[in-house]
């Protein structure tokens, strides 16, 4: 279980086409202490399913998803960001998740 985290902000950008999309996600540590080991939880809109990702591991591929750090980006220093993303299929809905939590703490959505 990842340790508790401080404040965070998430920026989420979607680039969609016919039946696919990519999502770029920037997670910023807005607290004064580092986050060592992180898990970003969010719920994908209905009809979206992750097919591949980068800079994080994603599980499961649809519904309530958790993105976890990989070995080279486990620490998010204060006032810095980690950029992750994924490719997904969709059935017409290309919206973004409405809420994100970092190690169980709600993040501001930019």
- Residue 44: which CATH number? 2.60.40.290
Average pLDDT, the chain: 94
Under a CB-based contact definition with an 8 Å cutoff, are residues 51 and 7 in contact?
A: no
DSSP 40: E
- Would you give the end-to-end CA distance of the chain in angstroms? 26
Region 64-72: what's the mean pLDDT? 98
State the pLDDT at residue 36. Answer: 95
**Confidence label for 13 from pLDDT (cuts 50, 70 and 90):** very high
In-domain check, residue 1: no
80 within some domain:
yes
pLDDT at residue 45 above 60? yes
Give the E-state strand segments of 1-110 in sequence order: 8-17, 20-29, 35-36, 39-43, 49-54, 57-59, 64-68, 75-76, 81-89, 100-102, 105-106, 108-109
Task: Give me the mean pLDDT over the 47-66 stretch.
Answer: 98
Q: Give the rounded percent of residues in the chain with a pLDDT score beyond 90.
A: 91
Q: Residue 78: which of 7, 18, 21 has the closest Cα?
A: 7
pTM (predicted TM-score):
0.92
Question: 110 in a domain, yes or no?
Answer: no
Where does the pLDDT of residue 97 fall: very low under 50, low under 70, confident under 90, or very high at 90 and above? very high
Asked, for residue 108, whether it belongs to a domain, the answer is no
Cβ neighbors of 13 (< 8 A, separation 6 or more) are 23, 24, 25
Total domains, the chain: 1
Q: Is residue 73 part of a domain?
A: yes
Range of the domain at 73: 8-103
- pLDDT higher than threshold 60 for residue 93: yes
Domain contains 3: no
């Amino acid at each position: 279980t990842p340790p508790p985290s401080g404040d965070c902000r998430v920026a989420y950008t979607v680039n969609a086409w016919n039946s696919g999309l990519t999502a770029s996600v920037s997670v910023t540590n807005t607290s004064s202490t580092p986050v060592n080991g992180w898990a970003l939880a969010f719920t994908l809109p209905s009809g979206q399913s992750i097919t591949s990702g980068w800079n994080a591991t994603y599980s499961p591929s649809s519904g309530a998803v958790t993105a976890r750090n990989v070995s080279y980006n486990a620490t998010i220093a204060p006032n810095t960001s980690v950029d992750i993303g994924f490719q997904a299929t969709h059935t017409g809905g290309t919206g973004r998740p409405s809420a994100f939590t970092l190690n169980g703490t709600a993040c501001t959505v930019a």
